[in-house]
Amino acid sequence: MRPLRVLIADDAVVVRRILTTVIGEDPDLEVVGTAANGILALQKFEQLKPDIVTLDIEMPEMDGLQALAALRKIDRKVPVIMFSTLTERGAAATLEALSLGASDYVTKPANVGSVSAAMESVRQQLIPRIKSLCKRPDSAQARPRTPLVATQPLARALDASSPSGRTDVVAIGASTGGPVALSTVLAALPKDFAVPVVVTQHMPPVFTRLLAQRMDGSMPIEVREAVQGDVLKPGLVLIAPGDRHMCFRRSSMGIVVNLSEGPPVNYCRPSVDVMFDSLATLYNGDVLAVVLTGMGHDGRDGCATLKAKGAYVVSQDEATSVVWGMPGAVATAGLSDAILPVEQIGPKIVLTVTNTARRTQLVR
Protein backbone atom coordinates (compact mmCIF):
# COMPACT_ATOMS: atom_id res chain seq x y z
CA MET A 1 0.00 0.00 0.00
CA ARG A 2 1.52 3.31 -1.05
CA PRO A 3 1.99 6.09 1.53
CA LEU A 4 -0.64 8.80 1.80
CA ARG A 5 0.57 11.92 0.00
CA VAL A 6 0.43 15.09 2.12
CA LEU A 7 0.74 18.71 0.96
CA ILE A 8 1.68 21.23 3.68
CA ALA A 9 0.90 24.97 3.43
CA ASP A 10 2.30 27.22 6.16
CA ASP A 11 4.21 30.48 5.99
CA ALA A 12 6.43 29.64 8.98
CA VAL A 13 9.61 27.75 8.03
CA VAL A 14 9.89 26.14 11.48
CA VAL A 15 6.30 24.84 11.30
CA ARG A 16 6.87 23.39 7.85
CA ARG A 17 9.97 21.63 9.14
CA ILE A 18 8.16 20.23 12.18
CA LEU A 19 5.26 18.95 10.09
CA THR A 20 7.56 17.49 7.45
CA THR A 21 9.60 15.69 10.10
CA VAL A 22 6.65 14.32 12.06
CA ILE A 23 4.75 13.19 8.97
CA GLY A 24 7.90 11.73 7.42
CA GLU A 25 8.47 9.53 10.49
CA ASP A 26 5.34 7.54 9.71
CA PRO A 27 5.81 4.88 7.00
CA ASP A 28 2.19 5.27 5.93
CA LEU A 29 2.64 8.97 5.12
CA GLU A 30 4.72 11.03 2.71
CA VAL A 31 5.13 14.81 2.38
CA VAL A 32 5.01 15.45 -1.37
CA GLY A 33 5.27 19.23 -1.19
CA THR A 34 5.23 22.36 0.94
CA ALA A 35 4.02 25.90 0.26
CA ALA A 36 4.48 29.22 2.05
CA ASN A 37 1.11 30.70 1.04
CA GLY A 38 -2.24 29.82 -0.45
CA ILE A 39 -1.31 30.72 -4.03
CA LEU A 40 1.62 28.30 -4.04
CA ALA A 41 -0.50 25.68 -2.29
CA LEU A 42 -3.10 25.78 -5.07
CA GLN A 43 -0.41 25.54 -7.75
CA LYS A 44 1.22 22.57 -6.05
CA PHE A 45 -2.13 20.91 -5.44
CA GLU A 46 -2.80 20.87 -9.18
CA GLN A 47 0.69 19.55 -9.89
CA LEU A 48 1.08 16.97 -7.12
CA LYS A 49 -2.49 15.65 -6.61
CA PRO A 50 -2.02 14.94 -2.87
CA ASP A 51 -4.35 12.73 -0.85
CA ILE A 52 -4.73 15.37 1.88
CA VAL A 53 -3.80 19.01 2.50
CA THR A 54 -2.88 20.91 5.68
CA LEU A 55 -3.58 24.64 5.52
CA ASP A 56 -2.37 27.30 7.92
CA ILE A 57 -5.10 29.88 8.46
CA GLU A 58 -2.86 32.95 8.57
CA MET A 59 -0.59 33.20 5.50
CA PRO A 60 0.52 36.14 3.30
CA GLU A 61 -0.76 36.85 -0.24
CA MET A 62 -3.56 34.27 0.10
CA ASP A 63 -4.58 33.05 3.55
CA GLY A 64 -5.96 29.65 4.47
CA LEU A 65 -9.62 30.61 4.19
CA GLN A 66 -9.15 32.03 0.70
CA ALA A 67 -7.09 29.02 -0.34
CA LEU A 68 -9.70 26.63 1.06
CA ALA A 69 -12.53 28.34 -0.83
CA ALA A 70 -10.50 28.17 -4.06
CA LEU A 71 -9.48 24.56 -3.41
CA ARG A 72 -13.08 23.48 -2.91
CA LYS A 73 -13.91 24.82 -6.37
CA ILE A 74 -11.22 22.49 -7.76
CA ASP A 75 -11.86 19.45 -5.56
CA ARG A 76 -14.78 19.10 -3.17
CA LYS A 77 -13.69 15.78 -1.66
CA VAL A 78 -9.97 15.95 -0.83
CA PRO A 79 -9.58 16.12 2.97
CA VAL A 80 -8.28 19.45 4.28
CA ILE A 81 -6.98 19.99 7.82
CA MET A 82 -6.69 23.58 9.02
CA PHE A 83 -3.87 24.67 11.34
CA SER A 84 -5.25 27.09 13.91
CA THR A 85 -4.18 29.00 17.01
CA LEU A 86 -5.83 28.67 20.41
CA THR A 87 -7.11 32.24 20.29
CA GLU A 88 -10.50 33.83 19.75
CA ARG A 89 -9.41 34.99 16.31
CA GLY A 90 -8.08 31.53 15.48
CA ALA A 91 -11.24 29.86 16.75
CA ALA A 92 -13.49 32.13 14.70
CA ALA A 93 -11.43 31.52 11.57
CA THR A 94 -11.47 27.78 12.18
CA LEU A 95 -15.26 27.68 12.47
CA GLU A 96 -15.49 29.68 9.25
CA ALA A 97 -13.12 27.19 7.60
CA LEU A 98 -15.27 24.26 8.71
CA SER A 99 -18.33 25.95 7.22
CA LEU A 100 -16.40 26.42 3.95
CA GLY A 101 -15.65 22.72 3.71
CA ALA A 102 -12.56 22.01 5.81
CA SER A 103 -12.58 18.43 7.09
CA ASP A 104 -11.00 19.09 10.49
CA TYR A 105 -8.50 21.28 12.31
CA VAL A 106 -5.43 21.00 14.52
CA THR A 107 -4.41 23.64 17.03
CA LYS A 108 -0.83 24.86 16.92
CA PRO A 109 1.27 23.97 19.96
CA ALA A 110 1.38 26.84 22.45
CA ASN A 111 3.71 27.27 25.43
CA VAL A 112 5.19 23.79 24.98
CA GLY A 113 8.72 24.97 25.69
CA SER A 114 10.70 22.97 23.14
CA VAL A 115 10.74 21.78 19.56
CA SER A 116 10.48 18.15 20.69
CA ALA A 117 7.36 18.95 22.74
CA ALA A 118 5.87 20.80 19.76
CA MET A 119 6.60 17.80 17.55
CA GLU A 120 4.94 15.44 20.02
CA SER A 121 1.86 17.68 20.18
CA VAL A 122 1.60 17.67 16.39
CA ARG A 123 2.24 13.93 16.28
CA GLN A 124 -0.64 13.20 18.66
CA GLN A 125 -3.11 15.57 17.01
CA LEU A 126 -2.29 15.41 13.32
CA ILE A 127 -1.29 11.84 12.40
CA PRO A 128 -4.51 10.14 13.58
CA ARG A 129 -6.57 12.77 11.78
CA ILE A 130 -4.73 12.29 8.49
CA LYS A 131 -5.23 8.54 8.64
CA SER A 132 -8.86 8.73 9.70
CA LEU A 133 -9.79 11.28 7.06
CA CYS A 134 -8.05 9.20 4.39
CA LYS A 135 -9.55 6.00 5.83
CA ARG A 136 -6.14 4.49 6.58
CA PRO A 137 -6.25 2.26 9.71
CA ASP A 138 -4.29 3.48 12.70
CA SER A 139 -3.63 1.61 15.91
CA ALA A 140 -4.98 4.45 18.04
CA GLN A 141 -8.02 5.31 15.93
CA ALA A 142 -8.86 2.16 14.00
CA ARG A 143 -12.39 1.47 12.94
CA PRO A 144 -14.14 -1.32 14.90
CA ARG A 145 -13.10 -4.68 13.49
CA THR A 146 -16.55 -6.23 13.38
CA PRO A 147 -18.27 -5.07 10.17
CA LEU A 148 -21.66 -3.48 10.41
CA VAL A 149 -24.17 -5.75 8.71
CA ALA A 150 -26.81 -3.06 8.30
CA THR A 151 -27.74 -2.59 4.65
CA GLN A 152 -29.94 0.22 3.34
CA PRO A 153 -33.13 -1.85 3.81
CA LEU A 154 -32.08 -2.60 7.39
CA ALA A 155 -31.26 1.05 7.97
CA ARG A 156 -34.76 1.93 6.79
CA ALA A 157 -36.17 -0.74 9.11
CA LEU A 158 -34.27 0.76 12.00
CA ASP A 159 -35.58 4.19 11.03
CA ALA A 160 -39.13 2.85 11.25
CA SER A 161 -38.63 2.00 14.93
CA SER A 162 -39.51 4.44 17.67
CA PRO A 163 -39.02 4.66 21.43
CA SER A 164 -41.59 2.89 23.54
CA GLY A 165 -41.12 5.18 26.54
CA ARG A 166 -40.70 8.89 27.24
CA THR A 167 -38.15 11.29 25.82
CA ASP A 168 -37.28 13.91 28.42
CA VAL A 169 -33.94 15.06 26.99
CA VAL A 170 -31.99 14.86 23.72
CA ALA A 171 -28.23 14.31 24.05
CA ILE A 172 -25.86 14.69 21.09
CA GLY A 173 -22.19 13.71 20.85
CA ALA A 174 -19.84 14.68 18.00
CA SER A 175 -16.19 15.18 17.08
CA THR A 176 -14.48 15.40 13.67
CA GLY A 177 -16.92 17.02 11.24
CA GLY A 178 -19.28 17.69 14.10
CA PRO A 179 -19.85 21.45 13.82
CA VAL A 180 -21.30 21.18 10.31
CA ALA A 181 -23.29 18.03 11.16
CA LEU A 182 -24.55 19.63 14.36
CA SER A 183 -25.68 22.72 12.45
CA THR A 184 -27.65 20.51 10.07
CA VAL A 185 -29.33 18.68 12.94
CA LEU A 186 -30.17 21.72 15.08
CA ALA A 187 -31.57 23.64 12.12
CA ALA A 188 -34.52 21.23 12.14
CA LEU A 189 -35.44 21.89 15.78
CA PRO A 190 -38.13 24.53 16.34
CA LYS A 191 -37.84 27.42 18.77
CA ASP A 192 -40.47 25.83 21.02
CA PHE A 193 -38.86 22.37 21.02
CA ALA A 194 -40.47 20.38 23.80
CA VAL A 195 -37.39 19.07 25.66
CA PRO A 196 -33.87 20.24 26.55
CA VAL A 197 -30.93 19.43 24.26
CA VAL A 198 -27.38 18.88 25.54
CA VAL A 199 -24.33 18.58 23.30
CA THR A 200 -20.76 17.41 23.75
CA GLN A 201 -18.59 18.42 20.81
CA HIS A 202 -14.87 17.70 21.06
CA MET A 203 -13.37 21.19 20.93
CA PRO A 204 -11.00 23.28 23.06
CA PRO A 205 -11.99 26.30 25.16
CA VAL A 206 -12.99 29.45 23.25
CA PHE A 207 -13.92 27.29 20.25
CA THR A 208 -17.03 25.91 22.00
CA ARG A 209 -18.17 29.38 23.07
CA LEU A 210 -17.83 30.78 19.57
CA LEU A 211 -19.50 27.67 18.12
CA ALA A 212 -22.50 28.22 20.41
CA GLN A 213 -22.67 31.92 19.53
CA ARG A 214 -22.43 31.18 15.84
CA MET A 215 -25.21 28.60 16.00
CA ASP A 216 -27.43 30.73 18.21
CA GLY A 217 -27.41 33.41 15.54
CA SER A 218 -28.48 31.04 12.78
CA MET A 219 -30.72 28.42 14.41
CA PRO A 220 -34.44 28.63 15.28
CA ILE A 221 -33.69 27.15 18.71
CA GLU A 222 -31.63 28.95 21.38
CA VAL A 223 -28.02 27.69 21.67
CA ARG A 224 -25.56 28.56 24.46
CA GLU A 225 -22.30 27.28 25.88
CA ALA A 226 -23.14 25.68 29.22
CA VAL A 227 -22.04 27.26 32.49
CA GLN A 228 -22.08 25.81 35.98
CA GLY A 229 -25.63 25.65 37.36
CA ASP A 230 -27.44 26.13 34.04
CA VAL A 231 -30.93 24.65 34.24
CA LEU A 232 -31.96 22.26 31.47
CA LYS A 233 -35.05 23.75 29.78
CA PRO A 234 -37.20 22.93 26.76
CA GLY A 235 -36.16 24.93 23.72
CA LEU A 236 -32.57 25.39 24.94
CA VAL A 237 -29.43 23.73 23.57
CA LEU A 238 -26.44 23.68 25.92
CA ILE A 239 -22.98 22.86 24.51
CA ALA A 240 -20.30 21.54 26.87
CA PRO A 241 -17.44 24.04 27.26
CA GLY A 242 -14.01 23.02 26.03
CA ASP A 243 -11.84 21.22 28.61
CA ARG A 244 -14.81 20.53 30.92
CA HIS A 245 -16.92 17.40 31.21
CA MET A 246 -20.64 18.22 31.23
CA CYS A 247 -22.44 16.29 33.94
CA PHE A 248 -25.79 16.93 35.61
CA ARG A 249 -27.41 16.89 39.05
CA ARG A 250 -30.81 17.45 40.58
CA SER A 251 -31.52 20.67 42.41
CA SER A 252 -34.56 22.56 43.66
CA MET A 253 -34.62 24.23 40.23
CA GLY A 254 -34.63 20.95 38.29
CA ILE A 255 -31.79 19.24 36.42
CA VAL A 256 -28.77 21.53 36.31
CA VAL A 257 -25.33 21.46 34.69
CA ASN A 258 -22.41 20.34 36.83
CA LEU A 259 -19.14 20.99 35.02
CA SER A 260 -16.18 18.77 35.90
CA GLU A 261 -12.41 18.95 35.51
CA GLY A 262 -12.13 15.19 35.95
CA PRO A 263 -9.55 13.23 33.96
CA PRO A 264 -10.07 12.86 30.21
CA VAL A 265 -12.15 9.88 29.12
CA ASN A 266 -11.28 8.31 25.76
CA TYR A 267 -8.54 10.99 25.63
CA CYS A 268 -11.33 13.59 25.58
CA ARG A 269 -12.53 16.36 27.86
CA PRO A 270 -15.38 16.99 27.39
CA SER A 271 -16.35 13.37 26.84
CA VAL A 272 -19.57 12.08 25.32
CA ASP A 273 -19.45 8.98 27.52
CA VAL A 274 -19.30 11.13 30.66
CA MET A 275 -22.36 13.12 29.52
CA PHE A 276 -24.32 9.99 28.57
CA ASP A 277 -23.49 8.22 31.85
CA SER A 278 -24.64 11.22 33.89
CA LEU A 279 -27.93 11.39 31.96
CA ALA A 280 -28.48 7.66 32.47
CA THR A 281 -28.22 8.18 36.23
CA LEU A 282 -30.74 11.04 36.29
CA TYR A 283 -33.13 10.22 33.46
CA ASN A 284 -32.87 6.41 33.35
CA GLY A 285 -34.00 5.47 29.83
CA ASP A 286 -35.96 8.63 29.01
CA VAL A 287 -33.19 9.88 26.74
CA LEU A 288 -32.79 10.20 22.98
CA ALA A 289 -29.05 9.85 22.33
CA VAL A 290 -27.51 10.89 19.02
CA VAL A 291 -23.93 10.13 17.94
CA LEU A 292 -22.63 12.16 15.01
CA THR A 293 -19.44 12.01 12.96
CA GLY A 294 -16.13 11.78 14.79
CA MET A 295 -12.90 9.85 15.35
CA GLY A 296 -12.55 7.16 17.98
CA HIS A 297 -15.34 5.54 19.98
CA ASP A 298 -16.35 8.15 22.56
CA GLY A 299 -20.07 7.70 23.20
CA ARG A 300 -20.18 3.95 22.58
CA ASP A 301 -19.95 2.89 26.23
CA GLY A 302 -22.33 5.64 27.30
CA CYS A 303 -24.83 4.44 24.70
CA ALA A 304 -24.55 0.93 26.14
CA THR A 305 -25.39 2.30 29.59
CA LEU A 306 -28.34 4.28 28.23
CA LYS A 307 -29.64 1.37 26.11
CA ALA A 308 -29.60 -0.93 29.15
CA LYS A 309 -32.10 1.47 30.72
CA GLY A 310 -34.29 1.69 27.62
CA ALA A 311 -32.99 4.81 25.85
CA TYR A 312 -33.30 5.33 22.09
CA VAL A 313 -30.07 5.73 20.08
CA VAL A 314 -29.52 7.30 16.66
CA SER A 315 -26.22 7.09 14.77
CA GLN A 316 -25.16 9.10 11.74
CA ASP A 317 -24.56 6.87 8.72
CA GLU A 318 -21.15 6.29 7.15
CA ALA A 319 -21.93 8.00 3.85
CA THR A 320 -22.55 11.41 5.44
CA SER A 321 -19.92 11.16 8.21
CA VAL A 322 -16.57 12.88 7.77
CA VAL A 323 -15.16 10.07 9.93
CA TRP A 324 -17.33 7.07 10.81
CA GLY A 325 -15.51 6.33 14.05
CA MET A 326 -17.87 7.29 16.88
CA PRO A 327 -21.19 6.54 15.14
CA GLY A 328 -19.65 3.44 13.55
CA ALA A 329 -18.54 2.15 16.95
CA VAL A 330 -22.07 2.56 18.31
CA ALA A 331 -23.63 0.92 15.25
CA THR A 332 -21.15 -1.96 15.14
CA ALA A 333 -21.81 -2.68 18.81
CA GLY A 334 -25.48 -3.16 17.95
CA LEU A 335 -26.59 -0.15 19.99
CA SER A 336 -28.23 1.93 17.23
CA ASP A 337 -32.00 2.00 16.89
CA ALA A 338 -31.66 4.16 13.77
CA ILE A 339 -28.72 4.74 11.40
CA LEU A 340 -29.50 7.81 9.33
CA PRO A 341 -28.00 10.38 6.94
CA VAL A 342 -27.27 13.56 8.84
CA GLU A 343 -30.02 15.53 7.07
CA GLN A 344 -32.62 13.06 8.38
CA ILE A 345 -31.52 13.13 12.01
CA GLY A 346 -33.05 16.50 12.95
CA PRO A 347 -36.49 15.61 11.58
CA LYS A 348 -36.19 12.20 13.27
CA ILE A 349 -35.53 13.90 16.61
CA VAL A 350 -38.54 16.19 16.21
CA LEU A 351 -40.80 13.31 15.19
CA THR A 352 -39.61 11.10 18.03
CA VAL A 353 -40.04 13.75 20.72
CA THR A 354 -43.49 14.71 19.35
CA ASN A 355 -44.68 11.10 19.24
CA THR A 356 -43.43 10.22 22.71
CA ALA A 357 -45.05 13.37 24.12
CA ARG A 358 -48.39 12.38 22.58
CA ARG A 359 -48.13 8.86 24.00
CA THR A 360 -47.31 10.25 27.43
CA GLN A 361 -50.36 12.54 27.31
CA LEU A 362 -52.60 9.63 26.32
CA VAL A 363 -51.30 7.52 29.21
CA ARG A 364 -51.97 10.38 31.61
Q: Where are the domains of the chain?
A: 4-133, 152-363
Whole-structure pTM value: 0.90
Which residues are part of the catalytic machinery? 175, 202, 298
The count of other CB atoms within 10 Å of the CB of residue 260 is 16
CATH class of 4-133: alpha beta
Q: What is the pLDDT of residue 141?
A: 40
Residue-wise pLDDT for 123-153, tens only, equals: 999 999 999 999 865 433 433 333 333 434 4
Are 193 and 221 contacting, i.e. CB atoms less than 8 angstroms apart? yes
Q: What is the pLDDT of residue 24?
A: 94
- The lowest-confidence range among 82-86, 88-92, 128-132, 145-149 is 145-149
Q: Using CA atoms, how far apart are residues 163 and 143, in angstroms rounded to an integer?
A: 28
Residue-wise pLDDT for 101-123, tens only, equals: 999 999 887 666 688 888 998 89
Specify the DSSP class assigned to residue 234: T
Question: One-letter amino acid identity for 193?
Answer: F
* Domain pair 4-133 / 152-363, same fold: yes
Q: What is the pLDDT of residue 359?
A: 57
Residue-wise pLDDT for 198-218, tens only, equals: 999 999 999 999 999 999 999
The count of other CB atoms within 10 Å of the CB of residue 115 is 13
Architecture (CATH level 2) of domain 152-363: 3-Layer(aba) Sandwich (3.40)
Q: Using CA atoms, how far apart are residues 258 and 247, in angstroms rounded to an integer?
A: 5
Q: What is the pLDDT of residue 18?
A: 93
Residue-wise pLDDT for 310-341, tens only, equals: 999 999 999 999 999 999 999 999 999 999 99
| Phi, psi values for residue 81, rounded to 5° | -110, 125
